[in-house]
Amino acid sequence: MKRKRVLLSVGGLSLFLVLLVMSVPLVAAGAEKTQPQILTIGCLAGLTGFASPAERITAQGYQLGADYINDKGGITIKGQKYLIKLVMEDHKCTAEGAANAATKLLFDHKVKFVAGGVMPFTIIAANSVLGPAKVLFATNYNCATPQEYGPTTPYQFVTTNATVEGMASMLEYVAQARPEVKTIAVILPEDGSAAILFPMVIQMAKARGMTVSGDAITFAMDAVDFTPIAKKAMGRNPDAIFMGNGWPSMQGSILKTARQSGYTKLIFQTNYAAADAILKVAGPEASTNFFLHSVTPGERTNPPLMEEVFRRTKAKYGHEEIMFTHKGFDNIYILAQAIEAAQSLDPTDVKNKWEKMDKIVGSTGTGRMCGQKTYGINHSVCLPDPIAGLVNGQVKHLKWMNVIMTP
């Protein structure tokens, strides 16, 4: 009997040891899964070249987006935490540079997700490399050219309001705020999109009781003297001058020339730029009766996330160019939302999930997916749009507009 008890004790001890040994790898595996892994996202930015003053600041926004996500613990895919790591390549503001930068991201860094891209020719060139490889390409902007974005670019998404969305919301605001505006002269950069955008402007203006005077007035992307452009628009004696895409240096120069030449009527731009940057180029005396899409830091109606981006911009980079940093921030922040919603690191899975998402959160508020009717693909993120004004040399918030786009 005694011997039987001993055997039972030994057997129980053996069973305990076996169970203990079996449990060790399970505990280790569970602990290992809680350790964050790294998700590398490629970024394209014009760190050098003619658009670099604005694109460098947008690139800072990409990093702010990654920092914000990581500070919150990263994203979770099937129980595994991932922190975001960005690898940046300079597209040098040229098509050749964009193709080379995309090639480096694909083959040297082996990324599956790429963010960035503002100008049509850089996006088209990058997509010629990324598209065939089925890399998910989350661009920062879109000028509505078919080669740049549409059914032929199934792995591309646009993460923020772009040209067409900006035209729609600004023309709607002008119609509400200045019903006396009946004729407009249209200025567009010749970046490959003018022929596509101009008929859209005519249609949108007509729907709001406005008429476009003459053909589109265009300028080269490397232009430095905008005096002939401003005077040509003034010569049509419109009720307002409409400026489409362009960097602050371009639009600020047109505003300054028009005011110095005696044009006092409304001038407005429909893309997105920092109001302070345009004011700096045009000067306080010229900066009045001007509408633009721009965020106003400290405005009481700003979403909390927008103010957080402003705080982080100032703390990390020492400036207040939030209009560009928030665009870069949203690029990364929204891409990360789509990846987490898909619960996959496979670009095809993320694509299939993203295009069906019914809610997207950006720094300007909560938006939705749209674009099917306009672009032939439901890959555009439409978010609330901020309208600001330059009034007697001061920046003033005017209104938040919902983007009027058909899904």
The pTM of the full predicted model, rounded to 2 decimals, is: 0.83
pLDDT confidence of residue 33: 57
pLDDT confidence of residue 404: 63
295 shares a domain with 176: yes
Mean pLDDT of 356-376: 93
Mean pLDDT of 362-379: 93
217 shares a domain with 280: yes
Mean pLDDT of 22-28: 38
pLDDT confidence of residue 211: 98
**Domain range spanning residue 84?**
37-161+300-383
Examine residue 9 and state whether it is found in any structural domain, yes or no: no
**Residues β-bridged to residue 303:** none
For every residue of 97-134, DSSP letters joined together read HHHHHHHIIIIIS--SEEEE--SHHHHHHHHHHHTTTT
Instruction: List, as own/partner pairs, every contact residues 79-82 make where C-beta atoms lie below 8 angstroms and the sequence separation is at least 24, other chains included.
Output: 79/33, 80/33, 80/37, 81/34, 81/35, 81/36, 81/37, 82/36, 82/37, 82/38, 82/39
Name the token pair of 220: 């080269």
Examine residue 31 and state whether it is found in any structural domain, yes or no: no
Collapse the DSSP code of 74 into the 3-class scheme (helix H, G, I; strand E, B; otherwise coil) and give the result.
coil
Pairing type for strands 211-212 and 156-158 reads unpaired
Q: Kindly report, residue by residue over 56-88, the tens digit of the pLDDT.
A: 999 999 999 999 999 999 999 999 999 999 999
287 shares a domain with 244: yes
172 shares a domain with 304: no
Name the token pair of 94: 């040229």
- Residue 174, C-beta contacts closer than 8 angstroms, at least 6 positions apart: 181, 208, 210, 240, 266, 268, 291
pLDDT confidence of residue 15: 36
Q: In the predicted model, is pLDDT for residue 6 greater than 60?
A: no
Instruction: Kindly indicate the confidence band of residue 375, based on its pLDDT and cuts at 50, 70 and 90.
Output: very high
State the residue for tokens 């567009």.
188
Q: In the predicted model, is pLDDT for residue 4 greater than 90?
A: no
Q: Which of 21-30, 113-122, 162-171, 311-320 has the lowest mean pLDDT?
A: 21-30
pLDDT confidence of residue 222: 85
Instruction: Kindly indicate the confidence band of residue 9, based on its pLDDT and cuts at 50, 70 and 90.
Output: very low
Cα–Cα distance for residue pair 323/132, rounded to 1 Å: 32
154 shares a domain with 48: yes
Instruction: Kindly indicate the confidence band of residue 258, based on its pLDDT and cuts at 50, 70 and 90.
Output: very high
Cα–Cα distance for residue pair 156/375, rounded to 1 Å: 12
259 shares a domain with 174: yes
Examine residue 141 and state whether it is found in any structural domain, yes or no: yes
Q: Kindly report, residue by residue over 135-150, the tens digit of the pLDDT.
A: 999 999 998 888 999 9
Examine residue 251 and state whether it is found in any structural domain, yes or no: yes
Mean pLDDT of 245-265: 94
185 shares a domain with 292: yes
Q: Kindly report, residue by residue over 26-58, the tens digit of the pLDDT.
A: 333 444 457 999 999 999 999 999 889 889 999
CA-derived radius of gyration, the chain: 26
140 shares a domain with 98: yes
99 shares a domain with 241: no
pLDDT confidence of residue 25: 40
CATH number at residue 220: 3.40.50.2300
pLDDT confidence of residue 403: 77
**Rounded alpha-carbon distances, angstroms, from residue 398 to 11, 384, 387:** 80, 13, 5
Cα–Cα distance for residue pair 259/333, rounded to 1 Å: 39
170 shares a domain with 245: yes
Sign of the alpha-carbon dihedral angle for 35, 41, 47, 48: positive
**Averaged pLDDT score across all residues of the chain:** 90
pLDDT confidence of residue 14: 42
313 shares a domain with 287: no
Cα–Cα distance for residue pair 349/76, rounded to 1 Å: 15
Mean pLDDT of 385-390: 95
**Rounded alpha-carbon distances, angstroms, from residue 121 to 50, 96, 139, 151, 302:** 14, 9, 13, 18, 33
% pLDDT > 90, the chain: 78
Cα–Cα distance for residue pair 238/263, rounded to 1 Å: 10
- Residue 104, C-beta contacts closer than 8 angstroms, at least 6 positions apart: 89
Q: Which of 360, 347, 323 is nearest to 114 (CA)?
A: 347
Q: In the predicted model, is pLDDT for residue 373 greater than 80?
A: yes
Q: Which of 324, 241, 235 is nearest to 286 (CA)?
A: 241
Mean pLDDT of 256-265: 97
* Overall number of domains in the chain: 2
Q: In the predicted model, is pLDDT for residue 323 greater than 90?
A: no
pLDDT confidence of residue 89: 98
Name the token pair of 379: 């890959």
Cα–Cα distance for residue pair 15/64, rounded to 1 Å: 54
Cβ–Cβ under 8 Å, residues 214 and 184: no
Examine residue 206 and state whether it is found in any structural domain, yes or no: yes
Q: In the predicted model, is pLDDT for residue 405 greater than 70?
A: no
For every residue of 2-30, DSSP letters joined together read HHHHHHHHHHHHHHHHHHHHHHHHHHHHH
pLDDT confidence of residue 401: 92
Examine residue 5 and state whether it is found in any structural domain, yes or no: no
Examine residue 30 and state whether it is found in any structural domain, yes or no: no
Examine residue 257 and state whether it is found in any structural domain, yes or no: yes
264 shares a domain with 147: no
Instruction: Kindly indicate the confidence band of residue 233, based on its pLDDT and cuts at 50, 70 and 90.
Output: very high
